[in-house]
Structures are given as structure tokens and as C-alpha cells.
Structure 1
């Protein structure tokens, strides 16, 4: 439940930033890169502290890697929906839920040491 609430906050922030940047004239993919880049550290702190009760920055590199996976999914899907003629804000709005599910899977594994490339210490 906490992940969902923090996820709504983080997703709302990221989507609002994307919309503002896109409506300001930036191309959709540029707006996406900026909104993901700005959101990664904020999202890490909110997820680690409010959801998974993890402290420190030790998992940040894995978190960033997981966000790169989510970003790649988002960017490719956005490009596909744009090529179908959808407006950027509508297209990104359609991607929000599947990206959030993918983020939950990746982030929960990173913050609980269940990512395949993480070494158990």
C-alpha cells in the first residue's frame, strides 16, 4: 500500500513535469529524459525511506539501472504511440500504469536485494 501511495506521488510528479516540459515546447523524448533524470534521486529517497525502510545510498546504482530499464520501456512505447498519431501527453498518460507496474517489479527487487546481478553480502 505504501508503494502505491508513494508511486502515485512520484508518478504524478514525473507526469506533471513531462507535461509542463512538453507544453513548453520541448520534444516528447527530451521532456521524458529530463523528467526521468530529475525524478530518479527523489524517487529513490521516497521509495527507500517510506516504502522499503532502506537507508543509505548503497543501492542507488542498482536503482538507477532499474530506472534505465523502465525508461527504455517508456521511451520505446512513447515513440510507438506517437507514430500512431497520439498526442504526447495522451500517449504518456497511457504508458503511466504499465511503467508503474514495471517500476514496482524492478524497484522492489533492487531495494530488497533480489535483483539478479546483486551479490548477497
Structure 2
């Protein structure tokens, strides 16, 4: 019996929590990759909005397969346009947050770090509701 089949037999309340914890674990790996890309872009002298865009593009390419397969048990490329849409929304929220934090004199590298958890929660909500509906 496969892991996915066993998981489907769990009550929805438990199944949702288990999926959320997998999302956090996989998201930790994805976030480390994305944040490293963001800081590298800042180090190269890019404006924070451009650095966030570059990191988001690289992150989406990296995240689609890992999140789809390991969290939502799907790598159907039919979901890719919606997945990209989710990350456009997350990007816009991230840049808005970076802008607000920048006005408060918080450096972009720290602002990016502070926005990781809120953006991760938004990403999970949007992916679970609109992209990988199970």
C-alpha cells in the first residue's frame, strides 16, 4: 500500500495537518534556496524588487516539482499556470512588504527574512485552495 493511499484514509483534519507539516519541511528547503538567491542578487547590486523577482523565478522553477510531489502528491504540469499565479501574488505581497519595511529603515536582507513566514503561509493557503485541490 502506498504512502498516498494510507494518507487518504486518514481523517481530513489529520491529513491536512500532515500535509501542512510536509509543506513546512519542503518549504524550508525551498525557502533556503530562494532566500540564498535573493541575498546573492542583493550582493550583486540588484535593487530589492529585481532581486525578489529573480529569486522568485528561480524559486518557482525549483519549488513546483518538490512542492507538488512531496506535499500535494501531484506533479501534473496542468497545475503549473495556477502555481505560477500563486507565486505572482506571493511576489507582489513580498515586494509590498519589503517596500513598507524599507520605509521603516529595515534593510532588505532583514525584511526578506521577516517576510518568509507570512509569505509561506500565504503560499500554502493559495496552493492548497487553488492549485493542488485535494
Q: Structure 1 residue runs of 4+, over 4 Å off? A: none
Displacement of 1:56 after TM fit? 2.1
* Partner SS state of residue 74, structure 2: coil
Of structures 1 and 2, the larger Rg is shown by: 2
Q: Which runs of 5+ in 1 are unaligned?
A: 114-121
Q: Distance in 2 between matches of 1:66 and 1:27?
A: 23
How many angstroms does 1:39 deviate by?
Answer: 1.0
1:90-105 equivalence runs, <5 A = 90-105=110-125
Match of 1:4 in 2: 24
The structure whose residues are more often helix, as a share, is 2
The gaps in structure 2 that reach 5 residues or longer are 1-20
Cα distance in 2 for residues equivalent to 1:80 and 1:12: 23
Report 1:1-121 matches (<5 A): 1-109=21-129, 110-112=131-133
- Partner deviation per Cα, 1:19-41 (whole Å, 9 max, x = no partner): 11101211111100000011112
Structure 1 residue 112: Cα displacement:
1.5
- Tell me what 1:118 maps to: none
Between the two proteins, the alignment pairs up a number of residues equal to 113
Tell me the TM-score normalised to structure 2 length: 0.81
